[in-house]
Amino acid sequence: MAFGEVLRQLRSARGVSQAAVAAGAGMDRSYVNRIEAGERGAPALPAVEALIGALQLSPAEGDRLMAAAGLLPRALRALGPDDPTILLLAQRLTDGALSQASQTSLRATIESIIRHWSNAGHE
């Protein structure tokens, strides 16, 4: 989905006007209008961050907008492109020798581990 479409969906879901989003992001309303109309491409990272803040998006929604802009989610940017654990996981999930069932099992295992650590408290 194009950046402008995702932006429009997120804005509309919150019932916020283009003018309000633009003001909150420090942009001109006509610029936001052109983005949503598909007349302008996705803006650079600082502008996307400003839109996320103006819309008060959840982390998941913010990552959705980032992805639509062709940018990495915040957590991946924070870790950096050479984080060994993330690279290892990505290599296994994209390994053509790994069956679809094995990929599904690996994903379920990782999700289970994350749920465990999320519920274990922040020790």
Of 92, 49, 54, 53, the closest CA to residue 73 belongs to 49
How far is 103 from 94, CA to CA, in rounded Å? 9
pLDDT for 120: 65
pTM for this structure?
0.77
Taking only Cα atoms into account, the Rg of the chain, rounded to an integer number of angstroms, comes to 18
The backbone torsions φ and ψ at residue 43, rounded to the nearest 5 degrees and listed phi first, read -75, 175
Kindly report, residue by residue over 36-75, the tens digit of the pLDDT.
999 999 999 999 999 999 999 999 999 999 999 999 998 8
How far is 105 from 71, CA to CA, in rounded Å? 28
7 within 8 A of 41, measured Cβ to Cβ: no
